[in-house]
Amino acid sequence: MRGYRKKSLDLSGALTALIVGFISICGGLSWTLILLFFFVTCSALTKYKSDIKRKREDGYKEGGQRNFEQVIANGFFPTFICLLYQIVRVFQFENFEALYLQSQKTNAPMELSRIEIHRYLYGNFYYFNAKDYPLKTFLLVCYLCCYIANTSDTWSSEYGILSKKEPIFILNFKKTFHGVNGGVSLSGYLASLVCGISYSMLCLFMICLDFFYARYFGFNDIGTMLVGGHETSQLPLLTQLLTVLSYQYPIVILCIFSALFGTTLDSVLGAIFEYSGYDEEKKMVVKKPGGEKVKHISGFGILSGNQVNFLSGCITGLVCATMSLWLFNY
């Protein structure tokens, strides 16, 4: 509702965002923080230097005022992934519960760590380990990188349009107008790079939270679990944490890759499938044909901007999730 009051969302967008937010919150803190980072940063950057954007963007809305179509384009697929993760968690917790009851009856040691049961009960934090938990790692990385692609595209678009230099059309590397689908700039790519680094720092922060959270609740095997079974429990606490982080470094690679890949893919798809024209009367780029005064620049007009965003986010998420099965298989 705060997004609606601040004009980041219109009414339909706010109602749709409530559903997206509720499902993400049910997934746990990690899922919620990723969603919040996307929404807060993109909303803030959309409002940045709005006076310049109003002159260069056709159909510019104060504050962004994203509708339900834009929320679905950016949030439907990762929300589906989050929901799928929760279904997996429910079925796996039933197995945990059965093992726990069996161990209580026989006084036999449990085959599964106590922290895993605690995570499934309360949904707290997560880490990346494709060797022992390939499906959960795949789903979380897919969710994460889908939002990174969407965030990166917004950052690069909102910051790139402010550049004083003309952008380069990604298909022929010639100069084009600001606001053309498929136009890229150095400032836009720098914004994407910063986006990827920011998300990687957020992930490392969540891993640190997971580590200290586990220590606080007395789960002494957390270090061993986080590094795929390698023994760390005999090391000093700080050394254990650094060891854990050293095994989680691929997430930095994935975050940066997904930001740059997502932006590039969105630009290529936009250049091919989205319509861009120049209105000589308004002196700005438009997204729809509009008579003799609008000259076609690029794109077949097959897909809308929302559809391109949806496709680029899905593809980026799935590509990076597949890569994670190799990068985190230690």
pLDDT value of position 248: 86
For residue 312, give the nearest of 223, 158, 181, 119 by alpha carbon: 181
What pTM, to 2 d.p., does this model score? 0.84
| Candidate from 2-11, 30-39, 42-51 with smallest mean pLDDT | 2-11
Helix/strand/coil percent split, the chain, to 5: 65, 5, 30
Residue of 190, 186, 181, 182 lying closest to 155 (CA atoms) = 190
Which two structure tokens, joined as six digits, stand for 60?
């510019």
Which of 162-176, 237-251, 302-316 ranks highest by mean pLDDT?
302-316
Rounded Cα distance, 37 and 197, in Å = 13
Instruction: Report the C-alpha gap between 25 and 239 in whole angstroms.
Output: 32
Tokens 């997206």 sit on residue: 20
Distances, alpha carbon 72 to alpha carbons 114, 146, 306, in Å: 37, 13, 9
Mean pLDDT of the chain: 79
The predicted structure's pLDDT at residue 35: 93
When pLDDT is averaged across residues 93-121 and rounded to a whole number, the result is: 51
Across 231-250, average pLDDT:
73
Q: How confident is the model at residue 57 (pLDDT cuts 50, 70, 90)?
A: low
